[in-house]
Chains A and B, each alone.
Chain A
């Protein structure tokens, strides 16, 4: 009985994702739209956190500039879609272009940095993220500088396919239908999140995923086994770039503007890193929880509490002090410090590791011979995990 319950609960991440789809319907109709917008951005940031997970969790590179790729995807979408420019591509094209450019950018710009290791590499990725911001800020004629490009309201399918759809029996009104209104775009984002999550799940079971994990655990040993570290790292970077590009495209389309360069800066990258570290590095499911807690606080809870506090009759000084949005830097910083100090494996340690500690033989056979749906092939030696490093010593 207990094991059945356990088996059902094993898939909690899947239930969580399905539940996300239903969340707006728990709220009364008048606030549903607002809630949906907020949860939409939560899902987009979960996507971005998954992208960072591909780099930090699989290859062990501490990347501090993930928001740069996000920004590339976002601005690519913005530029190719706003009526200021003559492109005005449809959403189907945009999403592909955003994914491809961000992936290429990730590979091209980050490849030379792979010569470095550890903390220097982290600083260089930070510098890269900052350069992206400056480029966005300074190329005013293309990116509108510190302003934002808007409106980003692409059509769903290209114009040339309209006759085709008409011949298939779709009416004119259907084609001009605003496809971004409430449940559609929300469900699209959710679908993308599920798709990426599932993709990464499968990747972890594949030969490529195991190679990446081997690389992170011990680069020298992995290269002695015939794996090419540079090639694997570039694959991981391309994948992370692609996911961030997708997230960027969805983000820009969901808020109908590019929101200015500040949205793609260092703070965003660190927020994503916080989500990962809180949830447990190398743990795909923990990351969802980390994103839910931190992004949820940042975009949902803080907003609600802010309006509550603004409505009170307290003095402005007290209001400013109490506003949760004013505390977010301290919260993120505190999370990083406390987790590093007391629980470097995160709230949800990667499963394989705890198995490996308890029953070494069984776990080895389980993760290699019969990879169960829920067994994440996750790190036993993530770069920030002091416990495993001590074991090694």
Chain B
């Protein structure tokens, strides 16, 4: 006798798969927040809107490839080739926009009080939103479903689609690569040193400004990857999705302990699960409020996050 009726169990597994897939996308965005916060203690409010711009660019590029109405007539090779190009071009775009914004707007405010760059970041977020508004207008835009929703294992009752497989196949290697990069390369070591103490790092001969630029590049690239995959997985984009997903991702970063890279991944997966299980078993309309409530509660009662490696001044 199984513990749960099998239909219910399948349903649960289905929610968990959706939750983990979306969660790993939140994790990619959250990594951008957490790395930037770890180094210059800035909540990069514009990060979510950068993610939105990334998916808009992906959509525009798909229309160049003639795939924006769906890829039913195109060959599989052509589709995977264009997705590969998207996964290369969009992250590069996002990386340079992110680093450019840092250079132009946040860098002059490094010595200013902490809230000045935050307010500027809100300003950048609004400007990005306005660009998005002009790009595709104020309505939801359909993103072509280029990867099929068919099951990977047709015989099994569990709905594990190729879309979910794609999300995992892209995000997991990236996270592993990032961990290796931060842990073992010279730049990664420089990043960790700068995060611990910028002054000491500078005294040790680390070019702090370069490290900050690289962090912004990396964060932007991760958001770019997430934006392409998000479009392919969820199939709608809008100019407002940056604000919402950005806040989810920020919540994920905070849940995991801001400044903590494994924490951001864990937090992202948790937020994804909360969202899909909440939509499935409680009520979809309350899930967003639930996530904000989690953000508030975590910040108030455990500001160092679940993993809480980094103990900062009283936040």
Query: A120 and B299: CB pair below 8 A?
Result: yes
Q: How far is the CB of B135 from chain A (nearest CB, A)?
A: 12
Query: B115 and A332: CB pair below 8 A?
Result: no
Known: A333-B127, A336-B123, A337-B105. A116 touches B303 (CB 8 A): yes
Query: B123 and A340: CB pair below 8 A?
Result: yes
State whether the Cβ of B202 lies closer than 8 Å to any Cβ in chain A.
no
Note all chain A residues with C-beta closer than 8 A to B286. 134, 138
State whether the Cβ of A119 lies closer than 8 Å to any Cβ in chain B.
yes
Proximity bits, A43-77, B CB within 8 Å = 1, else 0:
00000000000000000001010000000000000
Note all chain A residues with C-beta closer than 8 A to B296. 113, 124, 127-128, 131
Q: How far is the CB of B86 from chain A (nearest CB, A)?
A: 27
Nearest B-chain residue to A390, judged by Cβ: B111
Proximity bits, A309-347, B CB within 8 Å = 1, else 0:
000000000001100001111101111110011001000
Query: A340 and B116: CB pair below 8 A?
Result: yes
CA distance A297 to B163 in the complex (A): 45
CA distance A340 to B108 in the complex (A): 10
Nearest B-chain residue to A329, judged by Cβ: B130
Q: How far is the CB of A324 from chain B (nearest CB, A)?
A: 12
Known: A131-B289, A137-B285, A266-B243. A118 touches B315 (CB 8 A): yes
Nearest B-chain residue to A127, judged by Cβ: B292
State whether the Cβ of A236 lies closer than 8 Å to any Cβ in chain B.
no
- Chain A interface SS verdict (over half): helix
Size bracket of the A interface:
35 or more
Query: A340 and B127: CB pair below 8 A?
Result: no
Query: A116 and B289: CB pair below 8 A?
Result: no
State whether the Cβ of B300 lies closer than 8 Å to any Cβ in chain A.
yes
Query: B125 and A119: CB pair below 8 A?
Result: no
Size bracket of the B interface:
35 or more
Proximity bits, B71-106, A CB within 8 Å = 1, else 0:
000000000000000000000000000000000010
Query: B115 and A122: CB pair below 8 A?
Result: yes
CA distance A266 to B286 in the complex (A): 18
Note all chain B residues with C-beta closer than 8 A to A113. 296, 300
Proximity bits, A228-263, B CB within 8 Å = 1, else 0:
000000000000000000000000000000000000
Interface residues of B (CB under 8 A from A): 41-43, 105, 108-109, 111-120, 122-127, 129-131, 133-134, 243, 247, 250, 254, 283, 285-286, 288-289, 292-293, 295-296, 299-300, 303, 314-315
Can you report 24 A-B residue pairs in the complex whose CB atoms are below 8 A from each other? A113-B296, A113-B300, A123-B43, A123-B250, A123-B295, A123-B299, A126-B247, A127-B295, A128-B292, A128-B296, A131-B296, A134-B286, A266-B243, A270-B122, A330-B126, A333-B127, A334-B123, A336-B123, A340-B120, A384-B113, A384-B115, A386-B113, A389-B113, A390-B111
Interface residues of A (CB under 8 A from B): 62, 64, 112-113, 115-120, 122-124, 126-128, 130-131, 134-135, 137-138, 266, 270, 273, 277, 320-321, 326-330, 332-337, 340-341, 344, 383-386, 389-390
**What are the 7 closest A-B residue pairs judged by CB atoms, nearest first?**
A333-B126, A336-B123, A386-B112, A134-B289, A329-B130, A330-B130, A333-B123
